[in-house]
Amino acid sequence: MKIAVVYNRDSKNVINLFGMPNRERIGLKTIRRLVDALKKGGHLVISLEADKDLVERLGDFMPQVVRGERPGMVFNVSYGLQGQARYTHVPSILEMVGFPYVGSGPLGHSLALDKVVTKMLLRQRDIPTPDFAVLDTPDTELPPDLSYPMIVKPKNEAVSFGLKVVDDEDSLRDAAKVIYEEFRQPVLAEQYITGREINVGILGNDPVEAFQPVLLDFGEGAQIYTYEDKTGRSGRQIRPVCPAPIGEDLTEKAKDIAIRTFKVLGLSDCARIDMRLDDTGQLYVLEANSLPSLGEHGSYLVGADHAGLDFTGFVNRLVDVATARYFGVPDVSPLEARPKDTASQILLYITQNRERVERRLRDWVQLSSSTSDPVGIEQAVGKARRMLEGLGLKPVKELTDGPEVWTWQTSAGFDGGTLLIAHLDTPVDTKVALQPYRRDPEWVFGEGIGTSRAPLVVLEFTLRALRRARRLSRTPLGVLFYTDEGQGALHSAELIREAAARAKRAIILSPVESAGDFVTNRRGLRRYRLTVEGESIRPGKRTRRIPVLRWTWNRLDEMTEMTSSKARLAVEVLDIESERNPMMTPHRITAEIAVAYFNIEDAAHVERRMREILGRRGRRWKLTLLSDRPPMKERAQGLRLARAFEDVARTLELPAGHHSSAWPSVAGLVPAKVACICGLGPVCRDRGTSREAVQRVSLVQRALLLATFLSRPGEAKSR
């Protein structure tokens, strides 16, 4: 499991500093011990300071999960930075954004921190606690039944801040004034209980278990545990004695009181309940520590050690306790026992390899293979070959024609089975600024990351999950990669058609715009290059001929008026360039025109009209068809395939739904008799721009969906 140890120590990284600053500091030694103990427990661990960047850093370390996948966990030892109820700050943030964590929640911390509220709740449940009064100001009168000596302390602080024993009125008022001015809060005056101090550690939720009570031996001097004692500044050693020598009956009574206090305050996982035992054998609860110290010699760990838990054992037991509270089982993962059913094996493999998925995505992004880069294409093909052949797939020579098309298949072949199609080139516009690989809590960015790289990673881990479940070699499955997506699959089209015709279904791993999308029909796209030549004219020269730039622009404008939403037809100018001599108007214009269409008849009509528009007045022009990507028509087989994917998505509790898209793809090359579905790649935003990104969780969702679909029993028999 991924675990982030979250603490407060040095960082002041906040928007503004105001309010009561935190005075509690966790030791670096304790942080290191926690991290080392968790690593020994087999966890992947980082440590983070809790400040305004915490959510982003946690999201990067353990992003959104899918159903059945355990999220990471926060081991929370943070005291907060500033303000009121500081213990509640990090748990509140974690609950808001959805990170599980070790320890009590905001409500439990807030009740335990407010000593007056704690005492009121204890009295309601007949749990003994010393008499007390609240001084809203240093001059507030005391009730007549409260006698000296008393203990005074801030109402809402921990670690014995401001704690002092007072024996008379003057000492009380002086101490109250110091607390009031220093901590800016009311003062708790509590009857001092002469006797011994007993601490009881709590671990668990259902059941709640109490450690053996620990007696604090103060030796000579004041018989209270001060802030100076806890921070090693008093000059004396406080010796914890476990089990406390108080007899069996009092031991059981102390444990019962501690458990009842823990439950009354709504605490979780762990706590330390501090008590006083007077000379008559009466126990009184002083306070509950909802964030007990994990210092090496603290009474809480002394109790844990007596229960047979060394530091490593205790820390990992605490993680198990929190895991049980969130997920109902004490194990780190319910699937660790190597499940026998295929779906669970696939889920376990994909979710446990999230970091590996993103590392592989980074590797692909760092390998540049734009459509016009033959060296990069060659490297990409080599990388893909090593991956597929390492998984046991074999080349299909008759469907391989480098440098545009490469096809592999499993031992079962792919005739009558499934063909997965993706491309290895990144169709990058050279005018678009490229971006390096980077990620935030929700998105991963990089060159061609959505159009090419992420689909390749989804495909790879789909195959790896099938192999882990021992389904890959038995599944009729082919993989076809092509490398001219940036040219509209102009050279690879025929082999794609031929390969798809041999399969029962074709799945195109193109990206989608929102979670759960599948594409069942797409528009076709024709791209044309228009070249127009004319005379160069010196600016200011009078002539009857319209300059070639203006003439071309007018014709292009007339062409775009053929756009019709009703006919699902769009005519648009993608680019226009001119050539000219110095101080002359352009003599040559080159424009790129796109025609997105749904019906081939409409596309043919548009081309005829374009030629008619250009044919006027004898200009020298040339209209060249650069590429023609046929539309993907919605068909019965494709709809049945989409519904099958939707059924699988529902069992996985993933979003699902099919729709149409204006983006063209090679899905239009798949023969009509073959079931086809497009858009099985991850969610992509800002496609084709310098801000292109894929949603992190969709990498896992798509691999899980595709692998689960392909692993169904019918897939191995579909031949």
175-186: pLDDT as tens digits: 888 888 887 788
Confidence of residue 12 (pLDDT cuts 50, 70, 90): confident
Quickly tell me which residue has 């406390």 as its tokens. Answer: 244
Q: Is the pLDDT of residue 198 over 70?
A: yes
Lowest mean pLDDT among 482-496, 536-550, 651-665: 536-550
Res 230: pLDDT: 58
Confirm if 65 and 71 have CB atoms less than 8 A apart.
yes
Q: Is the pLDDT of residue 90 over 50?
A: yes
Structure tokens at 583: 């101080």
Structure tokens at 560: 């775009």
What's the alpha-carbon Rg for the chain, to the nearest Å?
36
Q: Give the number of C-alpha atoms closer than 13 A to the C-alpha of residue 506, restricted to the C-beta side.
A: 29
Res 329: pLDDT: 55
DSSP type of residue 341: S
pLDDT above 90 covers what percent of the chain?
Answer: 62
Q: Is the pLDDT of residue 716 over 70?
A: no
Res 226: pLDDT: 64
Res 718: pLDDT: 45
pLDDT above 70 covers what percent of the chain?
Answer: 93
Q: Is the pLDDT of residue 332 over 50?
A: no
Q: Please give the single-letter amino acid code of residue 441.
A: P
Could you give the CA distance from residue 219 to residue 223 in angstroms, rounded to a whole number? 8
* H-only helix segments in 84-231: 89-97, 106-113, 115-124, 169-183, 227-230
User: Average pLDDT over the chain, rounded to whole?
Assistant: 89
Confirm if 214 and 171 have CB atoms less than 8 A apart.
no
Res 335: pLDDT: 31
Mean pLDDT, residues 57-71 taken together: 83
Count of helix runs (H) and strand runs (E) in the chain: 19, 30
pLDDT tens-digit readout, 132-166: 998 888 888 888 888 899 888 888 765 456 678 88
pLDDT tens-digit readout, 102-120: 999 999 999 999 989 999 9
Instruction: Classify 398 as helix, strand or coil.
Output: helix
Confidence of residue 516 (pLDDT cuts 50, 70, 90): confident
Res 330: pLDDT: 45
**Nearest by Cα to 249 from 203, 204, 283, 284:** 283
At residue 290, φ and ψ (nearest 5 deg) are -75, -15
Mean pLDDT, residues 696-702 taken together: 94
DSSP type of residue 478: E
Could you give the CA distance from residue 159 to residue 697 in angstroms, rounded to a whole number? 41
Res 231: pLDDT: 57
Res 538: pLDDT: 82
Structure tokens at 228: 């100076």
Could you give the CA distance from residue 338 to residue 470 in angstroms, rounded to a whole number? 13
Could you give the CA distance from residue 597 to residue 409 in angstroms, rounded to a whole number? 34
pLDDT tens-digit readout, 415-469: 999 999 999 999 876 666 678 899 888 899 999 999 999 999 999 999 999 999 9
Lowest mean pLDDT among 20-24, 36-40, 363-367, 416-420: 20-24
At residue 275, φ and ψ (nearest 5 deg) are -135, 165
Res 336: pLDDT: 38
Measured CA distances, 3 to 58, 251, 660 (Å): 10, 35, 42
* H-only helix segments in 367-470: 374-390, 454-468
Res 334: pLDDT: 34
Could you give the CA distance from residue 277 to residue 294 in angstroms, rounded to a whole number? 24
Could you give the CA distance from residue 257 to residue 267 in angstroms, rounded to a whole number? 14
Burial of residue 378 (number of CB atoms within 10 Å: 0-12, 13-18, 19+): middle
User: Which has the higher per-residue pLDDT, 634 or 118?
Assistant: 118
Quickly tell me which residue has 């670690």 as its tokens. Answer: 159
Confidence of residue 495 (pLDDT cuts 50, 70, 90): very high
Res 508: pLDDT: 96
Could you give the CA distance from residue 157 to residue 265 in angstroms, rounded to a whole number? 16
Mean pLDDT, residues 266-271 taken together: 96
Res 715: pLDDT: 57
Confidence of residue 500 (pLDDT cuts 50, 70, 90): very high
User: Which has the higher per-residue pLDDT, 264 or 8?
Assistant: 264
- N-terminal to C-terminal alpha carbon distance within the chain: 40
Q: Is the pLDDT of residue 356 over 60?
A: yes
Structure tokens at 269: 């996982």
Instruction: Classify 277 as helix, strand or coil.
Output: strand
Burial of residue 612 (number of CB atoms within 10 Å: 0-12, 13-18, 19+): exposed
Task: Kindly report the number of other CB atoms within 10 A of residue 71's CB atom.
Answer: 18
- What residue ranges define each of the domains in the chain, with the CATH number in brackets? 2-102 (3.40.50.20), 111-130+193-327 (3.30.470.20), 347-523+661-680+710-717 (3.40.630.10), 531-619 (3.30.70.360)
Mean pLDDT, residues 353-370 taken together: 93
Mean pLDDT, residues 8-34 taken together: 83
Q: Is the pLDDT of residue 648 over 90?
A: yes
Res 714: pLDDT: 65
Mean pLDDT, residues 238-245 taken together: 91
Could you give the CA distance from residue 640 to residue 651 in angstroms, rounded to a whole number? 17
In sequence order, which residues have a C-beta less than 8 Å from that of residue 572 and are 6 or more positions away?
Answer: 560, 563, 593, 594, 596
At residue 144, φ and ψ (nearest 5 deg) are -65, -20
Q: Is the pLDDT of residue 346 over 80?
A: yes
Res 583: pLDDT: 83
User: Which has the higher per-residue pLDDT, 68 or 412?
Assistant: 412
Q: Is the pLDDT of residue 719 over 50?
A: no
Q: Please give the single-letter amino acid code of residue 475.
A: T
Could you give the CA distance from residue 468 to residue 330 in angstroms, rounded to a whole number? 26
Lowest mean pLDDT among 23-27, 405-409, 562-566: 23-27
